[in-house]
A and B are shown apart, each in its own frame.
Chain A
Amino acid sequence: MTIALSREATTRHTRRHLLSSADLDRAQVREILDTAAEMHGVQQREVKKLPTLRGRTVVNLFFEDSTRTRSSFEIAGKWLSADVINISGKGSSTSKGESLRDTVLTVAAMGVDALVIRHHASGAAQQVSQWVDAHVVNAGDGTHEHPTQALLDAYTMERRLGDLEGRHVAIVGDLTHSRVVRSNLITLRTLGVRVTLVAPPTLMPSGIGPWAAAEGFALSNDFDAVLPTVDAVMMLRVQRERMSGGFFPTPREYTVGYGLTRPRLDVLMAANPDAVICHPGPMNRGLEISPDAADAAASLVLDQVSAGVAVRMSVLYHLLAGGEGEDS
């Protein structure tokens, strides 16, 4: 679906855009994660800046609020010495009668090397990539994908668990409205991970049955049956607006059925003392994850945030500098 366009045939990793996790094959994921590890090393230094993207301009074009993802991309760009500009597209576009195409062409006309886009609509980054010359990075499109989140999740889990091949990861929560799950499914399957999706039937995406059959992942409505078998459990945020949407009766009932509660944490740790807990944030403590679980030694929540910067540095590096003789 995406345009894979090498500037130099010899550097496989030099891509135009990162729109979907499906854009990356296993070798490319490996390269991004390996570079991220180097970047992570830089992050621990006192002086964190690399000259790699000096003179390059990265625009964070966010049509939807996201302090966490936007600042992660901003820091990533700055530590690579790029000029980073944040533009809030919120309330521009449709409300002023301007089309999405006009909005992005206006931004691109300023001379931008990379556009990092967050949009409330699925497919927005893919559409934008057809209109501009700049590299486009999908920083979350509607309920579709969030490829850098999946990469940072894989990176974080790998740091703790080692090689992920053959490991079992359960993703639990509001799957219907989650872009995190769609990207994670792809990236984890690319890395040979066994994945089970856990949710009440009302929060499973439509057509999930044939999708699971085609891609080789499992489905369950029973968290307790899955929990003792996993190496990692990824808890997804349940958005406040879903709670009155009739997707489940009450928050209390949701927690009883699908929350990572204290008793479930004990079950998980007893079954697999090395198991880890992820959450893309922001967390609803007490709803999908108990404070005990969020703050447990097994929790990777803050590691995920830290890895986010390194992984996004790696992605920007591979898109903008890869194959042009720059050192990392």
Chain B
Amino acid sequence: MASLLITGADLVGRDTDGRADILVEDGVITEVGSIRSAKGADVLDADGLVALPGLVDLHTHLREPGREDAETIASGAAAAAVGGFTAVLAMANTNPVTDTAEAAERIFDLGRATGLVDVVPVGAVTKGLDGEELAELGLMHRSRARTTFFSDDGRCVHNARVMRRALEYVRAFGGVVSQHAQDPNLAGPQACAHEGELSGRLGLPGWPGIAEESIVARDVMLARHTGSRVHVAHVSTAGTVEVIRWARAQGIDVTAEVTPHHLVLTTDLLAGYDPTFKVNPPLRPQEDVDALRAALADGTIDAVATDHAPHARHDKEHAFVDAAFGMLGLETALSVVSEVMVHGGFLDWAGVARVMSQNPARIAGIAAHGSALAVGDAAHLTLVDPSAEVTVDRSASVSLSRNNPWHGRTLRGAVHATVFGGRVTAQKGALA
């Protein structure tokens, strides 16, 4: 394999006095420091760029198999690469559901074939996401896909007995359950707007924060009782943050993620009934947004995860309550985090490396990712231009879908290039 010399990058969080060159050979970092020249190496000028370990997304929906008109593993992998990601976890709510070893291996293999990112299949917790019977968790783990991260995402494992058994069972092989926290008795399938004054005025079925908070409170107690680890997907309320902070203080093994959209977008965007802003959990008021930013900054929330949810146009062009839940996220995540967390003064770039790469890699148990970019590490890295301004254009996306809530917004900070296994996969918003 050809070698690559990255020159003059800012290696964040390291005592390199700012800038360093990085030599990559055969997909591995072989030298870091001041490198005069490397014979035959392609040179990537990273002057003024920040080098982060390749971004890892704990939460994507790649829609294959089942809805290849909305996204495929190939198009989703392309969106990931463009967005600076080198590994993504692909949620199990496909058709068929990823609840067998065979299904997981197929996604794993299709991901490998893209050569753009590591696609890590998430296994369903229960068969067919029905919330009742455990899926073949152990067989998925023994498969080529080595599944350790399980979730019924899109649905909540709301039966406490089933959740308890899942938490206990996966402990045998170091697995973790990621919970989509939504008590269906408090927020049913129609619930689509943060329950509050606006949902009352708009006449939209309310999705109250308590439907999330009560499940998270129960789950952290289950984790304590079983001595297992639990992960909370897409935290959306200040109340959930309080529960997690309390659980951490008790020594309970809980991790949590927040989406870029819940860090910025607020429920008042629903006033025009535009289904682009329909997402689950719903957009919340500013108080929740503020609490989520603070929690991500202080480490109560470990990771940013996109919940990238592509949808065909015709699945969004329904009346609001009938339209599909979800929004795109892979291509814009880094810019959003840069704008709100870095430019907003909540995190430095080392912090971004932590919440978008190192922590998610650790939570999902993907050893090759989230490195410190040291000699001997796999060459998965993302070069970021911290001062580049991007105006999001939904039509410029490499995703097959266009349900982009950031369209028209200008954000500071952008992915300049993505390096996966020593190869440049994407540069300046397009595949390399």
Contact = CB atoms under 8 A, between A and B. Distances in A.
A121 B201 contact: no
Interface stretch (A137-145, A156-164, A288-296): A137-145
Interface stretch (B43-51, B63-71, B114-122, B315-323): B315-323
Interface stretch (B190-198, B229-237, B342-350): B190-198
A142 B203 contact: yes
A100 B317 contact: yes
A153 to B, nearest CB: 18
Contacts of A1: 271-272
Given A122-B204, A142-B203, A211 B197 contact: yes
A119 B319 CA distance: 9
Q: How many A residues touch the partner, as a band? A: 20 to 34
A82 to B, nearest CB: 26
B320 A122 contact: yes
Contacts of B123: none
Contact of A143 (B203, B273, B314): B203
A205 interface: yes
A317 to B, nearest CB: 28
B320 A127 contact: yes
Contacts, number: 86
Contacts of B202: 122-123, 144
Given A126-B273, A206-B196, A100 B319 contact: yes
A94 B314 contact: no
A70 B314 CA distance: 28
A102 B197 contact: no
Interface string B225-252: 0000000000000000000000000000
Nearest to A210: B197
B273 A207 contact: no
B214 interface: no
Given A126-B272, A145-B203, A102 B319 contact: no
A287 B273 CA distance: 34
Contact of B321 (A101, A142, A179): A142
B200 A211 contact: yes
Contacts of B208: 206
A207 B196 contact: yes
B50 to A, nearest CB: 41
A274 to B, nearest CB: 32
B318 A206 contact: no
Contact of A182 (B196, B198, B203): B203
A144 B203 contact: yes
A236 to B, nearest CB: 14
B206 interface: yes
A123 B204 contact: yes
A182 B201 contact: yes
A179 to B, nearest CB: 6
B200 A127 contact: no
A124 interface: yes
Nearest to A126: B273
B365 to A, nearest CB: 40
Interface string A65-76: 000000000000
A198 to B, nearest CB: 16
Interface string A99-135: 1111000000000000000011111101100000000
B317 A102 contact: yes
Contacts of B200: 176, 205-208, 211
B201 to A, nearest CB: 6
A221 interface: no
A81 interface: no
B192 to A, nearest CB: 10
Nearest to B201: A211
Contacts of A101: 314, 317-318
Interface string A196-215: 00000000011110110000
A97 B69 CA distance: 14
B198 A207 contact: yes
Contacts of A121: 318-322
A127 B206 contact: no
A207 B199 contact: yes
A121 B272 CA distance: 13
A176 B203 CA distance: 8
A295 to B, nearest CB: 31
Interface string A4-31: 0000000000000000000000000000
Contacts of B321: 121-122, 142
B267 to A, nearest CB: 11
A211 B197 CA distance: 6
Contacts of A229: none
A118 B142 CA distance: 54
Nearest to A181: B203
A93 interface: yes
Among the interface residues B197, B203, B206, B317, which one has the most CB atoms of the partner chain A within 10 A? B203
Interface string B308-335: 0000001101111110000000000000
Contacts of A211: 197, 200-201
Interface in B285-318: 314-315, 317-318
A122 B273 contact: yes
A123 B320 contact: yes
Given A126-B273, A143-B203, A100 B197 contact: no
Contacts of A141: 203
Contacts of A208: 197, 200
A179 B201 CA distance: 10
B319 A123 contact: yes
A8 B146 CA distance: 69
Nearest to A178: B203
Contacts of A102: 314, 317
Contacts of B320: 121-124, 127
**Max chain B Cβ within 10 angstroms of own Cβ: one of A97, A119, A141, A205:** A205
A35 to B, nearest CB: 28
Contacts of B196: 206-207
A211 B322 CA distance: 26
Nearest to A175: B200
A206 B273 contact: no
Given A141-B203, A207-B198, 8 more contacts: A1-B271, A93-B322, A122-B319, A124-B319, A206-B196, A206-B208, A207-B200, A208-B197
Interface of B: 195-204, 206, 208, 271-273, 314-315, 317-322
16 contacts: A99-B315, A99-B317, A121-B318, A122-B202, A122-B321, A123-B319, A124-B319, A143-B203, A205-B203, A206-B199, A206-B206, A207-B197, A208-B200, A210-B197, A211-B197, A211-B200
Interface of A: 1, 93-94, 97, 99-102, 119-124, 126-127, 141-145, 176, 179, 182, 205-208, 210-211
In the complex, the 8 A-B pairs of residues with the closest C-beta atoms, listed nearest first? A207-B197, A123-B273, A121-B319, A144-B203, A205-B200, A143-B203, A122-B203, A101-B317
